[in-house]
Structure 1
Amino acid sequence: MRGLLVVGLIVVIAVITTVLGYQLPRSSSSSSLSPPSAALPSDARRGAHSGALGEADGIVPDGVTVFDDTIPAVAKLDPDLLKALRRAASGAAHDGVEFYVNSGWRSTAYQNQLLRQAVAKYGSENEAARWVATAATSPHVTGDAVDLGRSDATAWLAGHGAEYGLCQIYRNETWHYELRISAIERGCPRMYADPTEDPRMQQ
C-alpha cells in the first residue's frame, strides 16, 4: 500500500512539473514584446548573426562611414542616395558630426536572417514587422535605405536632412533614412508610426 502511495505521489509531482514547465516560457515571453533598446541591424553588425553571412551580404564592421567604398553595404546603396548622404555628411562635418553606417544595402539572405531574429526576439511575425521587413519589401535589399549610427548624426539629420532630400521614414526608427528628392523643396513627408503603416510593406 505504501508503495502505491509513493508511486502515486511521484506521478502527481511529474504532472505538476510538466504543467509548470510549459507555462513558465509562455509567461516570460510576453515581457520580450517591449520596445527595443537598439536596432536589430546594430545587434547583427556586432556579431549576433549565425551562419556564413559576412560583409559581402551587407554586414557592416565597426567604424564604417558613408565614404567607405570598399564595404558592400555602402558601395551598393542607390547612387543618388549615396550622393545625398555624402553631401550631407560633408555639411555635418563642419559641425563636428560624422555619419557612421550601421546598415545599408543587404542581401536577401541577410534580410531573411534579420527577420528570423526579429520574430524570435519579439515573439511573433506581427510584432517583428514593426521593426524588420521581408526581403521582398525591404528598401535595404534594393539599396534604397540606410541606418545611421550615433545619435549626433541622426539629430543633425532631423534638423538638416530635408535640405539634402534625406528623410526619416518611421517614427520608431530614428536611424532609418531614405531619399525623398521632393523634400528639398517641400520638406519631408509625414512619417509612418512604424513599417506596418507603410503601403510598400503590404506586398
Structure 2
Amino acid sequence: MRHSPPSARTRSRRIRRFLVVGLIFVLAAIAVALGYQLPNSSSPSAASPSRSVAPPSRSVAPLSRPVAPPSPSGAPLTHTYRSERRGALGEAGGVVPDGVTVFDDDIPAVANIDPELLKALRQAATAAADDGVEFYVNSGRRSPEYQDHLLREAVSTYGSEDEAARWVATAATSPHVSGDAVDIGRPTATAWLSAHGAAYGLCQIYKNEPWHYELRCNARDRGCPRMYTDPTQDPRMQQ
C-alpha cells in the first residue's frame, strides 16, 4: 500500500493542537505556582505553625445579686458579686442569688431569718400561691460586714450619710442584721402582701420601701401600724 505524505493543512492542524496543549500546561503550571504562594502572603491561615493565637478569655458571669438601696429615682439598685466572693460579702454574709424563694433553706439569708418571721412568710406564700403569686427574696438576714458595705455604697450613691440613711441603716440598727426583716421581690408579691399581709402579721414598715417587711404579731387583730416615711423616722434607727 502506498502512503501519501500529510498535506500542509494537516500539518498546520497538528501544530496548532500542540501549541494549545502546550499553552494549557503552561497556564496550569502558573496557576499551581500562584495558588501555592498567595496563601503564604495574604491568607490568615498561612501563619507559621510556631505562632499560635490564644483563644479569647471566657467572661465570668456574676452568680449573685444582693439588694442595695434604691436609686434616687426610686428603683432598687442591684449589685453583683463574683462566685469567689465568700464570707461576709458572699452568700454566707447575706448575698441572695436570683430566683430564691422563702422556702430555700440552703440560702443563709433565708435560713437565718427569725424563725417566727420565716414561718409567717411561708404561710403567706402558701396562700399567695393559690392566687398565682410567688414570694421571691431579694434580701434577708445580713452580716454586719455586709450591712456596712451596703451603707458605704449608699453614701457613695447619694453623696451624703444623711441621704443614705433614708435607705440603709447601720449594722448596729438594721433589722436585716438581726434577722427581723426581709425584702420581697416582684411587684405582684408586694401587692399581695399589701392587701393580705396583716392577716399573717407581715407589715410594710417604710413608705419608701414597699419591699421591706417585718413581723408585727398584733397586726393579725389590729392591722399593721402606721408606716414611717423612711428609716430616718424610725426610733430604732436613732440608737
Q: What's the TM-score, normalizing by structure 2?
A: 0.67
Match of 2:97 in 1: 61
Q: Distance in 2 between matches of 1:38 and 1:146?
A: 17
Q: d(CA) in 2 for partners of 1:115 and 1:51?
A: 18
- SS of residue in 2 equivalent to 1:177: strand
- Offset, 1:35: 2.7
1:142 corresponds in structure 2 to 178
Q: Are 1:104 and 2:140 counterparts?
A: yes
1:185 to 221, 225, 231: 221
Identical columns (%): 72
Counting only pairs closer than 5 Å after superposition, residues 19-168 of structure 1 correspond to structure 2 as 35-40=72-77, 43-44=78-79, 46-47=80-81, 53-168=89-204
Q: How far did 1:51 drift? A: 6.4
The number of residue pairs the alignment matches comes to: 167
- 1:55-103 per-residue CA deviation (whole Å, 9 max, x = no partner) reads 0000000000000000000000000000000000000000000000000
SS at match of 1:67: coil
Bigger proportion of residues as helix? 1
Moved over 6 A (4+): none
The gaps in structure 2 that reach 5 residues or longer are 1-69
Rounded to whole Å, the distance in 2 between the matches of 1:39 and 1:62 is 14
Question: Structure 2 vs 1, CA of residues 37 and 54 (structure 1 numbering), >3 Å: closer, same or farther?
Answer: same
Superposed CA deviations along residues 94-151 of structure 1, whole A, max 9, x for unmatched, are 0000000000000001000000000000000000000000000000000000000000
SS at match of 2:138: strand
State the shift of 1:189 in Å: 0.1
Larger Rg: 2
1:201 aligns with 237
The structure, 1 or 2, with the larger RCO (C-alpha pairs under 8 Å, 6+ apart) is 1
User: What's the CA shift for 1:34?
Assistant: 7.2
* SS of equivalent residue, structure 1 residue 167: strand
Letter in 2 for 1:39: P
Aligned with 1:146: secondary structure?
strand
Partners of 1:36 and 1:178 in 2: CA distance: 24
Could you tell me how far 1:36 is from its partner in structure 2? 3.8
Query: Which residue of the partner structure matches residue 23 of structure 1?
Result: none
User: Alignment partner of 2:155: what SS?
Assistant: helix
Rounded Cα–Cα distance in structure 2 between residues aligned with 1:62 and 1:133: 23
* SS across alignment from 2:126: helix
